Every structure is written in C-alpha cells, then in structure tokens.
C-alpha cells in the first residue's frame, strides 16, 4: 500500500513560490537533485495540480536530451517518464498520453488509489496539497526549507480550520544550506503502553 506524500520546497518564511510565481530561489544542486531522484525513484505516481503538471511536463520528458543537463537531471528525466502521472484540473481539456486527468479530489477514490499503489503517491502543487490536506489524505510532509526570505508569495500552507498533529520522522541538511523536515501523521504511530 502506498502513502500520500506532500513534497515541497519552501522559503524560510513559508512561501512555496514568490509573488509572481517565481521559483528562481530554489537551490537545487547535484547533491539535492540526486537525493530527489533517490526518493522519487520508487514513487507509485506523481499527483499534480495543473500548474505544477505543466511546469514539469514542459521540461522533464526530454530533459536527458539537453547536453547541458547534469547527470541527476538526465536520470530524473527517465524517472519522470516511467512514473505514472495524474493531473487534477477543471480547466484542461485533455491530458497528455500516459497521464490521467482528474477533475476533483474525491477522498474515496484517492484512498483507493493509495491502497493500490506500489509506492508513495507524491502530491505536487500547493493548491492540490491543500485539497488533499482538507480531506485528511496526507500521510507525510517532506518540506525542503531553502535559506531565503521571500517576504511575500504563495504560502505552502494556506489558512485552515483544522489542526493536524504531526510527528518528526527525519531531519537532514544539505551542503547548499537546504534543510529537509520530514513529518508523518501522529495517528500513524502507535506508542507502546508504559510498562
């Protein structure tokens, strides 16, 4: 059974993109990119909102043909092509070949998708992540904190009417100053009774 993972880069002040959607502050060097490859290689599927899907699909299917691409970028191009993809959009007329088009997040459908998956389902895009969180579908958050203060932009976590308790699973720092904070749902872990 797969789990649902929200994996996002964020500025230290909590924004996943700048005020105009810019991502030029992401510090993805070869070490961090190789880490992403190692994590995403076992994905059951990539679940993306329209904007994230279009961003990824514009480059990654043929990135390994770019002579300027690094070794981790060329490797990820293959991972991206081979991993099943789902795009959530009410505006796309159709999805590219090999990509499933879904109009709305239906909790029962996504729980069944996760149960049938051979690996984790990775959610991309802040709005889609918020929708999965609203329906209590997120099992794990992997937040990559970049050493920058943007001042304003799109927050990773929008205002919500619910509190979600999490448990720290892992921290890791990378040579470029990025820090991974990995959290899982606290209800996924059973604390043994005291002896």
- Give the pTM: 0.90
Q: Is the residue at 87 inside a domain?
A: yes
Query: Is residue 191 one of the residues assigned to a domain?
Result: no
C-beta of residue 132 within 8 angstroms of C-beta of residue 164: no
The answer to whether residue 195 sits within a structural domain is: no
In a domain, 100, yes or no: yes
Range of the domain at 166: 4-179
Number of domains in the chain: 1
Is residue 111 classed as helix, strand or coil in its secondary structure? helix
Spatial contact of 130 and 157, defined as CB atoms under 8 Å apart: yes
Residue 111's alpha-carbon distances to 12, 77, 151, 152, in angstroms, are 32, 28, 36, 34
Largest CA distance in the chain: 61
Please, are residues 15 and 145 in contact by the beta-carbon 8 Å criterion? no
CATH code, domain carrying 71 = 3.40.430.10
| pLDDT, one tens digit for every residue, the chain (195 residues) | 689 999 999 999 999 999 998 999 999 999 999 999 999 999 999 999 998 999 898 889 999 999 999 999 999 999 999 999 999 999 999 988 889 999 999 999 999 999 999 999 999 988 999 999 999 999 999 999 999 999 999 999 888 888 889 999 999 999 999 999 999 988 754 444 344
């Amino acid at each position: 059974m797969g789990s649902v993972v929200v994996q996002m880069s964020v500025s230290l002040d909590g924004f996943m993109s700048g005020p105009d959607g810019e991502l030029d502050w992401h510090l993805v060097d070869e070490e961090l990119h190789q880490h992403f490859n190692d994590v995403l290689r076992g994905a059951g599927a990539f679940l993306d909102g329209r904007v994230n899907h279009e961003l990824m699909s514009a480059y990654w299917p043929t990135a390994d043909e770019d002579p300027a691409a690094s070794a981790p970028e060329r490797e990820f191009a293959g991972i991206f092509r081979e991993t099943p993809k789902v795009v959530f959009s009410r505006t796309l007329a159709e999805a590219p070949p090999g990509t499933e088009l879904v109009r709305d997040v239906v909790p029962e459908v996504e729980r069944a998708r996760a149960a049938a998956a051979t690996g984790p389902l990775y959610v991309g895009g802040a709005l889609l992540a918020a929708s999965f969180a609203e329906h209590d579908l997120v099992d794990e958050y992997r937040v990559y904190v970049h050493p920058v203060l943007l001042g304003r932009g799109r927050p990773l976590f929008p205002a919500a009417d619910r509190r979600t308790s999490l448990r720290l699973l892992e921290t890791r720092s990378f040579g470029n100053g990025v820090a991974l904070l990995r959290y899982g749902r606290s209800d996924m872990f059973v604390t043994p009774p005291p002896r």
